[in-house]
Each structure stands twice: as C-alpha cells, then as structure tokens.
Chain A
Amino acid sequence: MPPLLEVRNLRVEFAQRHGTLLALDDISFDIAPGEVLGIVGESGAGKSLTGAAVIGLLDPPGRVAGGQIWFDGQRIDTLPYDAMRRIRGRHIGAIFQDPMTSLNPVYRIGQQLAETIRTHLPMSVEKARQRAISLLQETGIAAAEARMDNYPHQLSGGMRQRVVIALALAAGPKLVIADEPTTALDVSIQAQVIALLKRLCREHGTAVMLITHDMGVVAEACDRVAVMYAGRIVEIGSTRAVIHSPAHPYTVGLMGSIPAIDQPRERLLQIDGAMPRLNAIPAGCAFNPRCPKVFDRCRVERPELLPGMATHAACWLLDVPRTAA
C-alpha cells in the first residue's frame, strides 16, 4: 500500500533581519493509511512546525524552502492557497491544543459543526444537522441534541476537546493532525480524550499525525514514533522499539528522565544543558555538546538516519565499520 502522506527532505526557513533561520532541516517520514505516527520532542524541537508545514499553515515569514510533501498521490506543498483550502478540513483535519481557541465563542457548537460539514460535503441543512448530532454522539457527549445549542463556554474543557475532535472528523478526512490535543486537560480527562481519538480514528480508518511532548501519550496511542531534536528527526521506529530499545543517546536520555510510575528509581537520568537555539546549532550532530557518548566525528560531520537494531537513528554510533564486526 502506498503511503498516505509522504514528507521528503522538508526544509523550513524563517527569513530574519540577520539572515535566515533554519527551523526544520531534512525531515522525511511517511504515514500509511490508518496509521498513527507520533512526533515527540521538547519545546522548540520543531514538532508543531512540521505539522503546520504539512497542513500548509506556516505563519510568515516561515516558508517551505525545500523538499516535497505528497498527500494521497498529490504534491501539496506547491498547491495554491485556494486548492490547499479545499484539502484542509475535507481531507486533512486538525486538532489543536487549546479547544477554546479552535472553537468560535460566539457561535453555537451545532452551527459550527453543521457549517463545517456543509462547506466540505454537499448536504442539506437538515442532513448536516443530523450528521453533526451523530458525530457528537460518537464522541461520547451525552444528550448530544441538546448540546448542539450550547456555546463553547458552556462546556467543560474535556467536552470542548470532544467537539473539536468531532469538527476535525466532520468531513471524513483521511488524515488528522493533532497538535498536543491533551496537554491543556486534566489527567483523568486526558486519558479519556486519547482513548476517544484512538477509537474514532480506528473506526473511520483515519491516519493520525500526533504531535506531543508526552512519551506516555505516544505509548498509549501511536504505532510509530519520530523523535525530534533541534529541527531534525533523530530517531524513528515502531513505538515499542523506540521506548524499549532506543538507539540515539538523546532518546535514551529522554526516556531515562521520565519518572516511571511502576519502577521507581532514586535518581533520574539527567541530560545536562538545554536544546540549542536555532541560531546557534552546533556543527556536526546538534546533540554533540550534551551527548555522553560523543566522539570526534560527531563534532564535524552530521549523521543521517542510519538503520540500528530496531529503529533508525541519526547517530554515528550506528555507523560501525563493517569489517570490525
């Protein structure tokens, strides 16, 4: 089966007064139909930017400066604004972190849902309303018909995020880009929303690009995961492999720094320092100043994604001379 989304060597730049900032560099990944791909990283790693680039919503002065994005056999990074608009919402849905900003506070949620449905699908007002109600029911909102007449502020945070999920799925998209969909929610609501997103996308056969900083969310929901650091993918592989046997020292450190609930340890593994700023990315591997296993080559030459035991990682440790083995 050909991939639904193909991102090849994506490069995003921000033109600034003092030259250009390279925000994303050489990002490549695929998402198969119905697959859930997690994009994790710490703040500033470029994960949200990757999502924005795919959906064509980069804020100027940010722009795609290189590479290609293919969706369902069509190249979409070069599409004119209007053509891209018809794809957004219809074929690619989006869910953002704060449900209050994705909903219009002065319209009833029923209106917002019905309008989205009628924008993308040829349907009568009455049919669209019926579809909106059934969507709300699917997201587990009790008394969906009565809720249609509520304004966003009358709903709780968890309910609002359910409405946003209903909105994203309204036109039956093939891909949903979910950017930190549970970060603003309470722990117990977070678990419900993740379970809901997973269930709905499985039922509808929708692929998901799930952007998050939370490895727990990835473990719960994703088939595969890409770990980002300083604007590049440093490791990509199946969720189980990345969590249990990470190859890149950054992923190892990231996993070790998460306090675990089932196996307490006295001290957390610590990666000293912080992610470099975009205007001061070190030569060679961007992680080299913080890496516990750094050697000379890391400081001069930048590693590409190399096949490891179970994942692909951008690390020279994996480039073992074949003769030595």
Chain B
Amino acid sequence: MTALVEAIGLTKTFDVSAPWLERIVERKPRQSVQAVDGVSFSIARGTTLGLVGESGSGKSTVARLLIGLHQPTSGTIRFDGQALTLRRTAGGRALMPQRRMQMIFQDPYASLNPRWRVKTIVAEPLVEHGLITAKDELNGAVEVLLKLVGLATPDMDKFPHQFSGGQRQRISIARALATHPDFLICDEPTSSLDVSVQAQVLNLMKDLQRSRGLTYLFISHNLAVVRHVSDRVGVMYAGRLVELADTTDLFAAPLHPYTRMLLDAIPDLSMSGRPRFPVQGEVVNPLNPPSGCSFHPRCPLANARCRSQRPALSAVQGVLVACHAVEEGRLPAR
C-alpha cells in the first residue's frame, strides 16, 4: 500500500520569549519551546493513524503543521508523493493539494460561525475554492453533504446554536467533506462529546472512511477511542514520537515504558482486576525538558544513559520505539 501522507523529521520551534523591553530590563534570555521534535511517520491510503499523548505532547501542533496552519521549522511533509509547500493564488486561496486535506476541530462550539446558517457554513469550502458557484447547485451539494452525515434538508436554514454538540460535530464533518478531500485531520473530534454521542460520531467516521476511502490522522488523549478507530498508533511524549506500531501490536505488547504507563492509567471498566502499576510523576514542562530521554524522571527503568543520552526511534520486533531499556533488553516482560 502506498503512503498518502508522509512526515519526515518534522520539527517546530515556537519563540516564547518575554517582550523585548522586559528582556532588556530584566536581562531575560530569549526562550523557545520545541513543540514538535523530529517526528516522522507515514499514513497509508485509506487507513487511520492515531496519535495519543497528554497535554503539551505536541500532537495538535503536528496536525497544524500538516494542514499548513504552521510552517515547520525543519522537516518535510509529502502528500501523495509530492513535497508539500504552501502555495496560494494571488487572492490568498490555497492551491492543491491543500484542497485535498481538511480538518475537524475539537470544539464544535468554537469552530462554527454562530452568525452563519448551516448552508453557508457547509458551502464555504466549495465557494472558497471556486468549485461550485451557481446558487441552486450549491444548495443541492449541501443537501447531499448533510444527508451523508445524518442531518436533514430543513437543517440547512438553521443556525449552529439550534444544534446539540454531536449534531454540530456532524456539521463540521459535512463541511470537511465538501471539497471531496482524501485526507482528514481530526484533532480530538469527540473529546467534548458525551459517550453516547461520541459513539454516533465515531461510527459515522468509520462508515465514511469505508465508503469514501478516506485517510485519517486521528488525534486523541483517549487510548480506548484511538484503539477503536486506528490501524496504526503513534505515542507522543514531550514533542517526540516514543512508539509507533500497529494497533494490535501496541495494545497487545506495548514496549515503551510510557505507553505501558498510559495503558495502566486507563480505568479498568470490566473490573477484571488485571494487575497494574500505579502511575507516577507529572507531565513534563515543555519550557524546561529534562536531559536525555524526556521520560526518564517518571521511568522505572531509567539509568545513567537515559539521563544523558536521548534515545532514537529504532525498529524492535517490527515496532518503532525510542527507548534505551528496550534496546538493551532491560525491559521486563508483562
């Protein structure tokens, strides 16, 4: 299977220095945050890559780099075999291949313009890219899109506030599908929804993937949700990928100590009493990341090498993992 999306050594550094005057007066140095640090992955056509991690791990920044909302500090993104550079027309319109990727955001209350009717919202990408201009044609296209996501034709003339959270997320999906994209970037699309509504949206996304051959990048902090939707899963910690594996492998035999800790942190819903290690430590401060492996202060297997030398992502048993303990065979079985 060919890769539709490839990220190679993606890095993004943000400048978070204090204002100029403050730096002069208080003699503060410039400061930067390494939000994403050398992340590489590829997503095969028609499959889903899940990205998990806790807040500040850089997963949303990866999404924004892919869609072109941020420019990478270094590294390249390849889409359908072509290197991706943001090109715009004189009018500021994004050109192909940006049109072939769309994004679904976390908060359906913030991502829909409250003053626009649903038909304007859903038709916006079509108008923006100049795909359809005739008014009745546009209405017809919106109608088809709304039906696709399980909304009715009369909903076209309503405003976003007349819908529940789950319905709003359906509108977001309809809007994202308007330009017939190949690739959807979903940044925590169900995190603000109730579980029963989350189930509706996840089922809808799976159905759409099957019927339209969509490729997804699915970002979530919820491992159970990621397991449900993904073919491959990448685990991020402090801006770096620490493990990348097929979903079945990752959940059956997690290698990286952080992945193991995340799995142990999931509440045991079936109350099976499976043995679990208590979770320890705090999420790292991205302003002041620890030396060596950034997970070492929380890691039960950390040694001197982990504290000084940063592990690189390498293949172990067909799984990519960045951990000295795995490489040295110090990892206990579980």
Q: CA separation between A223 and B270, bound complex, in Å?
A: 14
Among the 9-residue stretches A7-15, A25-33, A60-68, A213-221, the one with 4 or more Cβ atoms under 8 Å from chain B is: A213-221
> Which residues from A are CB-within-8-Å of B69?
none
- Closest A residue, CB atoms, query B150: A272
Minimum CB–CB distance from A143 to chain B (whole Å) comes to 14
* Any B CB within 8 A of the CB of A111: no
Among the 9-residue stretches B18-26, B33-41, B261-269, B305-313, the one with 4 or more Cβ atoms under 8 Å from chain A is: B261-269
Q: CA separation between A291 and B227, bound complex, in Å?
A: 28
> Which residues from A are CB-within-8-Å of B203?
267-268, 270
> Which residues from A are CB-within-8-Å of B200?
270-272
* Any B CB within 8 A of the CB of A156: yes
Q: How large is the interface on A (under 10, 10 to 19, 20 to 34, 35 or more residues)?
A: 35 or more
* Any B CB within 8 A of the CB of A274: yes
Given A158-B282, A213-B195, A268-B199, A261:B263 Cβ within 8 A: yes
Given A189-B282, A259-B225, A219:B196 Cβ within 8 A: no
Q: CA separation between A156 and B198, bound complex, in Å?
A: 29
Minimum CB–CB distance from A50 to chain B (whole Å) comes to 17
Q: Say yes or no: B265 contacts A257, CB within 8 Å.
A: no
Interface contact tally, CB-CB below 8 A: 122
> Which residues from A are CB-within-8-Å of B117?
none
* Any A CB within 8 A of the CB of B246: no
* Any A CB within 8 A of the CB of B223: yes
Question: Which residues of A in the span 232-273 have a Cβ within 8 Å of any Cβ on B?
Answer: 239-240, 243-244, 253-254, 256-265, 267-272
> Which residues from A are CB-within-8-Å of B272?
262
Q: CA separation between A190 and B203, bound complex, in Å?
A: 27
Q: Say yes or no: B264 contacts A215, CB within 8 Å.
A: no
Q: Say yes or no: A195 contacts B224, CB within 8 Å.
A: no
Q: CA separation between A216 and B265, bound complex, in Å?
A: 11
Q: Say yes or no: B223 contacts A257, CB within 8 Å.
A: no
Q: CA separation between A17 and B320, bound complex, in Å?
A: 61
Minimum CB–CB distance from B259 to chain A (whole Å) comes to 11
Partner of A257, one of B195, B221, B268: B195
> Which residues from B are CB-within-8-Å of A264?
227-228
* Any A CB within 8 A of the CB of B100: no
Given A219-B267, A219-B268, A261-B224, A267:B279 Cβ within 8 A: no
- A258-B269, A263-B270 known; 6 new pairs, CB 8 Å cut-off, are A186-B55, A187-B221, A187-B223, A188-B265, A191-B278, A264-B228
A residues apposed to B, CB below 8 Å: 42-43, 156, 158-159, 186-192, 194-195, 213-217, 219-220, 239-240, 243-244, 253-254, 256-265, 267-272, 274
A/B interface sample: 20 pairs, CB < 8 A: A42-B196, A42-B197, A156-B282, A187-B223, A187-B266, A189-B282, A192-B279, A216-B266, A219-B268, A219-B271, A243-B270, A256-B199, A257-B199, A258-B199, A259-B224, A260-B224, A262-B272, A264-B228, A268-B203, A271-B199
